[in-house]
Chain A
Amino acid sequence: MKKIINSPQDVVPEMVDGLVRSYPEYLKQIPETEAVVRSDQASMKGKVGLVSGGGSGHEPTHAGFVGKGMLSAAVCGQVFTSPTPDQIYAAIKAVNQGKGVFLVIKNYSGDVMNFEMARDMAEMDGIAVKEIIVDDDIAVENSLYTQGKRGVAGTVLMHKLLGAAADQGASLDELETLAKKALPHISTIAVALSAATVPEVGKPGFELADDEIEYGVGIHSEPGYRREKIKPSKELVAELLSKIDEVQHLDATHQYALLINGMGATPLMEQYIFSHDVLNKLAEKNITPVFTKVGNYMTSIDMAGISLTIFELAEQKWLEYLNYPVATVAW
C-alpha cells in the first residue's frame, strides 16, 4: 500500500481537520466530533436543516457539499464505516433551527441503523426528524434476500435538490415529499477497473486482472454483476446505458440530467472521453441532457472506474433546483 498518510488510524481526523482548515469560509467542525457544519450560520436561519454523512473514503462526498444551498452538515465516519449515532446527533442538534432536520441516508445496513438511532435520540429531545434512504444503484435487484439497492453517486443529486428546496424555505414535510418523488427517477450504475484499498486493511478489496473490468461494482468494492476483458469506452457506455434504459425507458420526450462520476483513480481525461460516448449514445435516441456534471463526486478511495447516473427530471422545478447557486467546496 502506497498512500500519502501518517498512520491508518489517523486518516479520518486528519482529513477532516485539513478540509475544514483549508476551507473555513464554508466549513466548521463540531468540537469532539468528525462532523462538519456550514460556517455561514445565517444562511440556515429559519430553515429545515439538511444532514447527511456516511463512511469516509467517498470524498468530496459528503462534507464537500456542505454550504449555502446544499447540506447544512455532514458526518464523516471511519473509512467505509458508518458514523456513530452520537456524532450524527451532534450534527442534527447543531443545525436545528426549530423547523426540523431532514436526513439523507445511503442504503447500507450500518448507515440506516446509526442514523435511525440518532433520529430516535433527536426525537426524544423534541427535534422533528424525517429522512430519505437513497438507493439509486440499479446494479442489484431489490430483493427480500439482500439489503436492497445501494446508495451511490445519485445521492449527490439528492443533496442538491433538497438543499435548493430547503434554502427556498421548504418545510420538513415538503422535503420528504420531494425526496420520495425524485428518488425513483435517479439511476446509477458503475464499472470498476480496480478496487479500493482501505488504509487500515492495506490491500485492495478485490482483485481484477490487468485486462479485466467488473460491471456493477459498489462504492465499497461490493461485487458487481459481470466481469470481462476491458473494452473501448463506447462499449462500456453501451453496456451501462442499456442497464439504465431497462429501468428508466429513456425517451426523447423527457428531460434528463446526467452525472458522470469518477471513482477516485480515473483521470478526468478518461471521464471526458466517457462523457463524449455517453452524449453520443444518448444523441442516437435524440436525447440531449439539460444538465450535466462530470468529475469526482462520490469516489471510492483509489478505485479506478466510473459511474453513470441518469436523473429523469419529471418536474421542471427539479432542473431549477439543480441550477440553484450554492457555496460549497465541491459542487
Chain B
Amino acid sequence: MVETGHFALVLALTLALVQSVVPLYGARVGDTRLMQIGGTAAVTGFALTLLSFAALTVAYAQSDFSVANVWENSHSAKPMLFKITGVWGNHEGSMLLWVLILNFFGALVAAFGANLPPTLRANVLAVQGWIGTAFLLFILATSNPFLRLSPAPFEGQDLNPILQDIGLAIHPPLLYLGYVGFSISFSFAVAALIEGRIDAAWARWVRPWTLAAWIFLTGGIAMGSYWAYYELGWGGFWFWDPVENASFMPWLAGTALLHSAIVMEKRSALKIWTLLLAIMTFSLSLLGTFLVRSGVLTSVHAFATDPSRGIFILCILIVFIGGSLALFAFRASSLTQGGIFQPISREGALVLNNLFLTTATATVLIGTLYPLLVEAISGDKISVGAPFFNLTFGAVMLPLLLVVPFGPLLAWKRGDAFAAAQRLMTAAGAALFAMICTMIIVDGETVLAAVGIGLAVWLIIGALTDLALKAGLGSVDANVLWRRLRGLPRSVFGTTLAHLGLGVTTLGLVGALSFQTEAILVMKPKQVVEVAGNTIRFEGLRPFRGPNFTEDQGIFTLLNEAAAPAAEIVSAKRFYPVRQMPTTEAGIKTLWFSQLYISLGDETGDGAAVVRIWYKPMVTLIWLGAVVMMAGGTASLMDRRLRVGAPARRKPGKTAAAT
C-alpha cells in the first residue's frame, strides 16, 4: 500500500509535466485535442494524489512504523482521530496535503470550466501544472513521506502534544484550501497575460474562485487563532508571530483582490491592477509556505529543519514570483485600459480600500522580513513584535474601518459623499451613543476603548444601513419591504454580512483587549476568589489518566448569586510521557459572548496551586465575526451572477450594473 502511494505520487508528477506543456502548446497552435488533454491530466493527477494521500493515511491508521514518517510522528496509543490528523501534523505530510489541495482545485477548474474559452482554460490548467510539478518535485526530492525504515521500530515517537487536538483536524486543511486556492486566481492572471487579452468576463470567472479561497482562508486563520488561544494557556489570540503573518498577508491581499475584481467586473476598470493583485496574493501564499516550511523561522509550525528544503522552496519562490512579475512587466502595457471614474464614486472607494489594504499588507511584510534581513546583513538578531505591528498596522487599518460604510452607499462612476454621509447619520448616532454609554457605564478613563466600541457599532449599523436602504426601509410598507429584501441579489447580503462581520470582530477585539480582568494568585483548596463579578471556588487538584498522557486537573466551581454551584471548570497541566513534554489545558467557560479562562500553574505544596484567571468580555465575537464574514462570502458566492456555469461572455462595454 505504501509503495502504491509512492508510485502514484511519481505518476502524478509525470502527469503534472504533461499538464504543464501539452495544453499550452495546444492553445498556441489551436489544437482542441491537445488542449483537452489538460483537463484529463488535471483530473487524473488529482485522483493519483488522492490515492497517494490515502495510502499514507492508511499507514498512519494502522500504525505502520516501518514507514519513517509514521514512526517519527505517531504512536500506537494515540486516539484514532489524532492518528489521522497526524498525517499532516508534520512537514512531509503537510506538503502532500498542500499538493492534494492544489490538484483538487485544478480538477475543479477542469470539471466546471466547460464554459470557459478553450484557450483560457488550457492555459490556466497549464499554469496549475507548473505549480504542481514544482511542488511534487519538491516532495519527491526532499520531503518524501513514503521512505521505509528497516528494521521497523516497535513503537513510534508520538506527535507533538500541542498538535494533539481537534484543531489540527480543521485548521491546516482550511488554511491550505484558502491559500492554495489563490493559485487559481494566479493561474487565471498568468493565463490572461500569456493570451494578452483580458475583459470583464475574466473577472467574473475569477471572482468565485477567489471568493471560495478567501472564505476558507478566513476560516483557517480564525480557527488557528482560537486554537492558539485555548491551547497555549496564555489566553492570547494573536501573537504577530511570523508564521501567523504568513497566513495573514495573503488574506489582506486576497481581500483587496476581491474588491478590485468587483470594479473590473462591473466597470471594466483597474484591469492591470487586478492582475497584479492576483499575482501578489498567491506570491504571498508561496512566501508563507517558504517561511513556514523552510526552517528560516522556528515555531511550532516549522517541523524538523533541513537546509536543502529551504533552498528548494526559495528556488520555487523566485521562479514563480520572478517569472510572473516579468511576464506582467512585458505584457501589462499591451492590455487595454477600461472605464474612467471620479475620485468620489464606488470605484474610488474600492481603490481607497485597495490602497489601505495593500499598504497594511506591506507593513506586515516589512515587519516579518526585517529581522531576517538584518540578520543576513549585519548578523544582529532582533525581534519585531506586537508593539511594531500595533503601531503601523493599526495606524493604516483604523482610517480604513472608518470609511468602510461609505463604500457601498456611493454610486458607480460619480458618487455623492454628502448624500452618503446623510444616510449614515443613524449609524453615526448609534456609534456616538455607544461611545458615551461606554464612558459613563464602564469607565470614564478608557477613551480609546470607547472609541473602539464606537467604531465597531459604526461598522455594524453602517453595514445594515446599506441593506435597509436597498430594501427601501422608510419609504415602503413592511410587506413590500420584505418582498424587496428577498428580491435583492445575494451579493448585496454578501457585502452587508462581510462588513458586519468586520464590525463584530472589531467589537470582540476591543472588548477582550481593553476590558479584560486578570487575576494571578496562589489558591488553596476551597478558597474563593471573585474576578469581574464572577465568584470562583477552587475545589482542589485531582490526578487523571488519558490514553497517552497523565494530568493534574484543577477543579473549579463557578458559583451563582446564591453561592450555589453553577458550573464546573476543569483546568489541567498535562504530561505526555513519550515526548517528555507538558502542556497546559486551559479551563474555559463561555458566558454569553464572554469567557472565563483559567490556566493552572505550578503546584506550591499542600494542595495549593498558582492560578491565573481571566475574564475576557466579548472575546468570542472575534471569531464569531470571522464566521459572519465567511457567511457573507458564501452568500456572495451563491449570487446568480457568479453561479458556476452561469456567466456568459458579454461584449465589452455592455456590462450591466446589477446593484
A binds B: no
B binding-site residues for A, Cβ under 8 Å: none
